[in-house]
């Protein structure tokens, strides 16, 4: 995949292939000054402006018919402050490059999501997260942020400086300005012991609170049409380092998780009736394993099978009921689901529109293989999630609007008031923001 998900004839496409746009022009600024000039020129031409990372959002959050800002020249580390325990990185830096650079410096983020293809600004602006009992999303690890606002000025914010902007801009949806640099809290690199093993779904649901409480990072994958899950427990370790051997890693992460999965998805698309049988085989293909390595090698894994995804955050205490309802819905429906359901957690944070804002949260993600009809499944799942006051991931498929968000985010009005102040002309508008934030 290229660093940006682009198509032919000036058409921009996202990674999932479900969103396309034709910008009037594209700009690739090499400096913050060039970016500010591009925003002012767009204003003169009466065009909206959007920055786009690697297109990993399944929503049209980055789509524009106006000026598309590509941040691939705004990359690299600007500063490492070992005393403060922070790194300042330019917005277009891919997480993969950040993780490698930090590891070379003997540093690491505390927590991260499960892929690292996205840009730092794209991942944080949409609320990308991993799983954690005590540590939250990537945005929750931001200590300061710099962005170009609608009038072309450069605004910096932190808990001390412009704190009301900082509260919102860490997950700003591209609505408040174009992020140019982000300062993240980092710590000396550490080792994680990963333990992956199959477990019956009934047991995971019965013991969920204990599994969550006993592990720093707990997650599991449930295979629809089966009672099986694969669980993952990641905890800090004193060592020694025991990475997965390259051959075993290739076999499990590439051949089984990507290759066999791709083949199973193709068969499932051609013959949906075979999916339950395939699911039973898939759920048994990944055997138990444990290994110890540095964080990014444990948290992240390659994702080569293209899919479309919906993910909702529900209050953590509601996760078991929500999953039971999801399973009952799948069991009684004619739906055939070839992709596992992923379940993760995050502690409450103080970011205005974070999916974990003000409440301990659990995430339930449903996926469909790219190219298969997903509407019926996602609609039925969304009905269950919203009944539990679910908050959809900003970068994943959902049908919610501003009226809904005003009900599930106590600080929603705070965000829209700040947007009115920073972007009164709606320079950073698009159809998605009109729907989720209101006109």
pLDDT digits (tens, 9 = 90+) for 207-241: 999 999 999 999 999 999 999 999 999 999 999 99
The answer to whether 344 and 114 have CB atoms below 8 angstroms apart is no
Tell me if the bond preceding 88 is cis, omega within 30° of 0: no
Look at residue 78 in the predicted model and tell me its pLDDT: 97
> Chain-wide mean pLDDT for the chain?
92
pLDDT on residue 396? 97
Residue 27: HSE in the Cβ half-sphere, 13 Å Cα cutoff? 25
Is the model's pLDDT at 356 over the cut of 70? Answer: yes
Query: Residues 112-125: what's their mean pLDDT?
Result: 95
Q: Flag whether pLDDT at 257 surpasses 80.
A: no
Q: What integer pLDDT is reported at residue 52 of this predicted model? A: 96
| % pLDDT > 70, the chain | 89
Taken in order 339, 397, 26, 155, the sign of the CA dihedral is negative
Beta strands in 296-436 (DSSP E): 307-315, 341-346, 361-369, 391-392
Is the CB of residue 276 less than 8 Å from the CB of residue 223?
no
Burial class (CB in 10 A: 0-12, 13-18, 19+), 85: middle
Confidence grade of residue 305 (pLDDT, cut at 50, 70, 90) = confident
Mean pLDDT confidence for 378-392: 98
pLDDT the model gives residue 288: 84
- pLDDT at residue 263 tops 70: no
Question: Residue 254's pLDDT is what?
Answer: 55
Taking residue 240's Cβ as centre, other Cβ atoms within 10 Å add up to 7
Q: Residue 206 has what pLDDT?
A: 98
Name the residue with tokens 């003000």: 358
261-270 vs 275-285: helix axis angle to the nearest 10? 170
> Residue 46: helix, strand or coil by DSSP?
coil
The pLDDT of residue 256 is above 60? no
The pLDDT of residue 4 is 44
222: helix, strand or coil: strand
374 pLDDT higher than 50: yes
374 CB contacts (<8 Å, ≥6 apart)? 308, 310, 368, 397
The more confidently predicted of residues 260 and 76 is 76
What pLDDT does 1 receive? Answer: 28
Question: Whole-model pTM?
Answer: 0.92
As a whole number of angstroms, the distance between CA 124 and CA 128 comes to: 6
Q: Specify the pLDDT at position 268.
A: 66
Q: What is the model's pLDDT at position 306?
A: 81
Res 8 pLDDT > 60:
no
Instruction: Tell which residue, 135, 132, 319, has the closest CA to residue 234.
Output: 132
**Given pLDDT bands bounded at 50, 70 and 90, which one contains residue 244?**
confident
Mean pLDDT confidence for 154-168: 98
Residues 396-410, mean pLDDT to the nearest whole number = 98
Question: Does residue 77 or residue 279 have the better pLDDT?
Answer: 77
252 vs 17 pLDDT, higher one? 17
The residue with greater pLDDT, 90 or 250, is 90
């Amino acid at each position: 995949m290229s660093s940006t998900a682009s198509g032919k004839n000036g058409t921009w496409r996202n990674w999932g292939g479900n969103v396309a746009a034709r910008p009037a022009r594209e700009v690739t600024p090499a400096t913050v000054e060039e970016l500010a000039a591009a925003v002012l020129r767009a204003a003169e031409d009466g065009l909206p402006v959007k920055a786009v990372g690697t297109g990993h959002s399944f929503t049209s959050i980055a789509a524009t018919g106006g000026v598309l800002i590509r941040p691939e020249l705004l990359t690299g580390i600007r500063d490492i402050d070992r005393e403060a325990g922070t790194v300042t990185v330019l917005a277009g830096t891919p997480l993969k490059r950040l993780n490698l650079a930090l590891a070379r410096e003997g540093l690491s983020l505390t927590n991260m999501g499960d892929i690292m293809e996205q840009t730092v600004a794209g991942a944080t602006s949409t609320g990308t997260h991993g799983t954690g009992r005590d540590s939250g999303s990537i945005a929750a690890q931001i200590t300061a942020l710099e962005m170009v606002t609608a009038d072309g000025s450069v605004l910096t914010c932190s808990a001390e400086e412009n704190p009301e902007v900082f509260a919102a801009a860490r997950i700003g949806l591209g609505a408040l300005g174009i992020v140019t640099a982000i300062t993240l809290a980092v710590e000396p690199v550490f080792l994680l012991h990963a333990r992956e093993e199959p477990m019956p779904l009934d047991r995971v649901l019965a013991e969920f609170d204990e599994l969550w409480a006993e592990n720093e990072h707990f997650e599991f994958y449930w295979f629809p049409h089966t009672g099986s899950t694969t669980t993952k427990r990641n905890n800090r370790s004193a060592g020694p380092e025991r990475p997965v051997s390259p051959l075993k890693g290739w076999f499990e992460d590439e051949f089984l998780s990507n290759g066999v999965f791709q083949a199973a998805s193709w068969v499932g698309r051609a013959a949906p009736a075979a999916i339950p049988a395939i699911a039973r085989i898939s759920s048994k293909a990944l055997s138990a394993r444990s290994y110890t390595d540095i964080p990014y090698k444990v948290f992240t894994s390659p994702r080569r099978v293209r899919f479309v995804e919906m993910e909702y955050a529900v209050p953590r205490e509601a996760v078991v009921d929500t999953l039971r309802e999801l399973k009952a819905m799948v069991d009684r429906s004619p739906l055939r689901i070839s992709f596992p359901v992923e379940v993760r957690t995050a502690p409450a944070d103080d970011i205005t529109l974070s999916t974990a804002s003000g409440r301990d949260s659990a995430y339930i993600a449903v996926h469909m293989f790219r190219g298969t009809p997903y509407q019926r499944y996602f609609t039925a799942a969304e009905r269950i999630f919203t009944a539990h006051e679910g908050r959809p991931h900003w970068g994943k498929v959902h049908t919610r609007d501003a009226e809904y968000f005003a009900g599930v985010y106590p600080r929603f009005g705070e965000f829209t008031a700040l947007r009115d102040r920073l972007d009164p002309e709606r320079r950073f508008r698009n159809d998605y923001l009109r729907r989720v934030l209101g006109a």
